[in-house]
Chain A
Amino acid sequence: MAGISIRNLVKSYGSFTVVPDLSLEIADHEFVVFVGPSGCGKSTLLRIIAGLEPITSGELYIGDKRVNGVPAAQRDIAMVFQDYALYPHMRVYDNMAFALQLRGMPKSDIDSRVRQAAAMLHIEAYLDRKPKELSGGQRQRVAMGRAIVRNPQVFLFDEPLSNLDAKLRAQVRAEIKALSQQLRTTMVFVTHDQIEAMTMADRIVVLQGGVVQQYDTPEVVYERPANQFVAGFIGSPTMNFFAVEWRGDAAVFAADATPAPLDDALGARLRAAAGKAVAGVRPEHFQVVSANASGIPVQIKLVEPLGSDTLIHFEVAGAAAIARVDPSLKPKPGERLFLKPQPGKIHLFDAANGRVLP
């Protein structure tokens, strides 16, 4: 087992730079999730760690070994591919045993390892089948089994759940997390799905355009996003953003100059930023208040009942916004009510570069 150290990594395809300059430390035993929109370079990074893609410049260490230029075959890593990439001509057993056979491991050892992994993943019944005789979920497990038997230094996963249906995805998500706690192997997991990132990761790397936007625990990334991109990407429904300004001696919504509910501390931060900022509030951080509690007056445009919660859509100063409210409120479209952000749950971002305001 080993940590991973990426130092000043640059990756270009010809004149197209995918990763401009990236440094990252992943600790031993850690479960790190790379999350970001499609095309942000997640797979590229993972494939660089795997040794499937050469580095343009910079350094990569697995454990304390510099692995620039070391072929994938010699890196002692295991990878689960998005399309599973099982060997079609081999039975499930041989798919799992293949890497061990290549290493010349004794047959009996291979057998016990394959059977142990198969038991762990509940695929013992399929060991004699060919991949094409399996369902998507079963193939996914075989792909994981093939990685587990290796007992590698590092596990790499490239969106392994994206081809599963929603229910199975949630189940396998939990299983992978349980597995990681059981195996304690360093894991790097790539996904575009922020829920997978939040639920599984010890630490999340939020990527955009090949640049690390934030690298921290799920709690911190959610509660203290480093910039407006992270704030908008993590959380569902996405955070509401409003342009706010300091006018005269009060904070107002920039669009219509109606009062914005910023407290003194936030007002001070707004003034320090030349009086212009973007305020962010998550849907779950609105509370419904009575008319005289200086809330924001809104009119409900649309109601989405989720069962456990209800989402209401409305506009604030011309901008569309969503709040998550208690279903017992029984909100109706057209109804008017007053909303107030919970104390301490308003984020302020620089209007120009999106960075969180100090």
Chain B
Amino acid sequence: MNSTLLSETLIRRLNTAQLVLAGILIMSPTAWMVLSSFKPSFEVTAYPPTLVFSPTLENYVELMQTTPFFSYAVNSLVVTLGSAGLGLLFGIPAAFAVSWTRISWPAVLALAARMAPGTLFLLPWYVMFRQVGMIGSYTALILSHAVITLPIVIWVLLPSFDNIPRSIFEAAQVDGCSITRVLWKIALPLVGSGIAVAAILSFVFSWNYFLFALVLSNGDSKTLIAAAFNFVGEGSTQWGALMAAATLIALPPLVLAAIVQRWLVSGLTLGAVKG
């Protein structure tokens, strides 16, 4: 009795230690980034890093003055929302079809496309998009980013659809629903939290992806993350401004990730059947 209690406490402490360690590993670069963005420029690269400093907004001011930050942000938003929307538009019916028919190879194919290195697509796309004169267009970026979002939507929603008891779909069919209606009237409302998660993950991954934008955009259609990449190594790197940019870029995904947490825990189908 006593020894099990002891080992339980020990296990709990080890758990906590593990979480703290993981937290430090994950959070310290982020913290360093955020802190650096508020440091005077001479202190950003100081070694050892200074922990006490007088915070300043000079990096942010410089960022806004030297770059068209807001138009990049608009580009990012258009591409990200466009590709997340496209991913949902095709991913929802695709996931439902895979779940319904239990024919899974399309989902595997989508996953394979997601796992392949982006450079694989890049060259053919560059050639294709250039031939139709779409380099630098939002369409090219949105289409290419759909490779990121579509597999996310499919694979997040597939288990959600699979978890709905089949008899509920069958009851809807008997009640007079075509398969399309079953999707819209029954299945979709039941996977609401899954769709929220899929939408947010699509947004985050598309927002953070820079390879396609680096090549398929031009000066006007550059996304934030691709633009930030260009800060590095153009003559003298503006570390302070770069940290400010990185902090601003990281903000939307961080906020959204916090929102996802709430949605991840949701048992809407509970009580649908016997229980």
Q: Which of A50, A99, A139 contacts B274 (CB 8 A)?
A: A139
B171 touches A73 (CB 8 A): no
B168 touches A88 (CB 8 A): yes
Q: Please, which residues of chain B bring their CB within 8 A of the CB of A77?
A: 174
User: Is B178 on the interface with A (CB-CB < 8 A)?
Assistant: yes
Q: Please, which residues of chain A bring their CB within 8 A of the CB of B172?
A: 87, 98
A81 touches B268 (CB 8 A): no
Q: Given A88-B268, A88-B271, A163-B274: A50 and B174 within 8 A (CB)? A: yes
B190 touches A132 (CB 8 A): no
User: Is A130 on the interface with B (CB-CB < 8 A)?
Assistant: yes
A132 touches B168 (CB 8 A): no
A341 to chain B, nearest CB (A): 43
Q: How far is the CA of A79 from the CA of B273 in the complex (A)?
A: 15
Q: How far is the CA of A16 from the CA of B173 in the complex (A)?
A: 26
Q: Please, which residues of chain B bring their CB within 8 A of the CB of A79?
A: 170-171, 174
User: Is A102 on the interface with B (CB-CB < 8 A)?
Assistant: yes
B171 touches A88 (CB 8 A): no
Q: Given A83-B274, A89-B189: A146 and B175 within 8 A (CB)? A: yes
A88 touches B272 (CB 8 A): yes
User: Is B165 on the interface with A (CB-CB < 8 A)?
Assistant: yes
Q: How far is the CA of A50 from the CA of B171 in the complex (A)?
A: 10
A111 to chain B, nearest CB (A): 18
Contact mask for chain A residues 96-117; partner B; CB cutoff 8 A; 1 contact, 0 none:
0011001100000000000000
Q: Which of A47, A79, A81, A99 has its CB near the most chain B CB atoms (within 10 A)?
A: A81
A308 to chain B, nearest CB (A): 32
Q: Please, which residues of chain A bring their CB within 8 A of the CB of B270?
A: 88, 132
Q: Given A72-B170, A85-B167: A103 and B268 within 8 A (CB)? A: no
Within 8 A of B (CB), among A56-74: 71-74
Within 8 A of A (CB), among B146-199: 165, 167-168, 170-178, 181, 185-186, 189-190
Q: Determine the residue in chain B with the shortest Cβ distance to A50.
A: B174
Q: Determine the interface band of chain B, counting residues with CB < 8 A from chain A.
A: 20 to 34
Q: Given A73-B176, A102-B176, A102-B177: A87 and B171 within 8 A (CB)? A: yes
A73 touches B174 (CB 8 A): yes
User: Is A136 on the interface with B (CB-CB < 8 A)?
Assistant: yes
Q: Please, which residues of chain B bring their CB within 8 A of the CB of A102?
A: 175-177, 181
B163 to chain A, nearest CB (A): 11
B173 to chain A, nearest CB (A): 4
User: Is B237 on the interface with A (CB-CB < 8 A)?
Assistant: no
B190 touches A88 (CB 8 A): yes
User: Is A131 on the interface with B (CB-CB < 8 A)?
Assistant: yes
Q: Count the A-B residue pairs with Cβ separation under 8 angstroms: how many?
A: 89
Within 8 A of B (CB), among A112-135: 130-134
Q: How far is the CA of A51 from the CA of B271 in the complex (A)?
A: 26
User: Is B104 on the interface with A (CB-CB < 8 A)?
Assistant: no
Q: How far is the CA of A342 from the CA of B176 in the complex (A)?
A: 54
Q: Please, which residues of chain B bring their CB within 8 A of the CB of A134?
A: 271
User: Is B269 on the interface with A (CB-CB < 8 A)?
Assistant: yes
A357 to chain B, nearest CB (A): 44
B15 to chain A, nearest CB (A): 33
B173 touches A87 (CB 8 A): no
B173 touches A73 (CB 8 A): yes
Q: Please, which residues of chain B bring their CB within 8 A of the CB of A73?
A: 173-178
Q: Please, which residues of chain B bring their CB within 8 A of the CB of A83?
A: 165, 167, 273-274
Q: Please, which residues of chain B bring their CB within 8 A of the CB of A72?
A: 170, 173-174
B125 to chain A, nearest CB (A): 41
Q: How far is the CA of A71 from the CA of B275 in the complex (A)?
A: 30
A85 touches B173 (CB 8 A): no
Q: How far is the CA of A99 from the CA of B175 in the complex (A)?
A: 5
B174 touches A52 (CB 8 A): yes
Q: Given A83-B165, A87-B186: A130 and B170 within 8 A (CB)? A: no
Q: How far is the CA of A150 from the CA of B272 in the complex (A)?
A: 21
User: Is A78 on the interface with B (CB-CB < 8 A)?
Assistant: yes
Contact mask for chain A residues 198-209; partner B; CB cutoff 8 A; 1 contact, 0 none:
000000000000
A251 to chain B, nearest CB (A): 51
Q: Please, which residues of chain A bring their CB within 8 A of the CB of B186?
A: 87
Q: Which of A51, A52, A74, A87 contacts B168 (CB 8 A)?
A: A87
B271 touches A130 (CB 8 A): yes
Q: Determine the residue in chain B with the shortest Cβ distance to A99.
A: B175
Q: Determine the residue in chain B with the shortest Cβ distance to A52.
A: B170
User: Is A86 on the interface with B (CB-CB < 8 A)?
Assistant: yes
Give the 9 A-B residue pairs with the shortest CB-CB distance, closest first: A132-B271, A88-B272, A85-B167, A99-B175, A83-B273, A85-B171, A72-B173, A102-B176, A89-B189
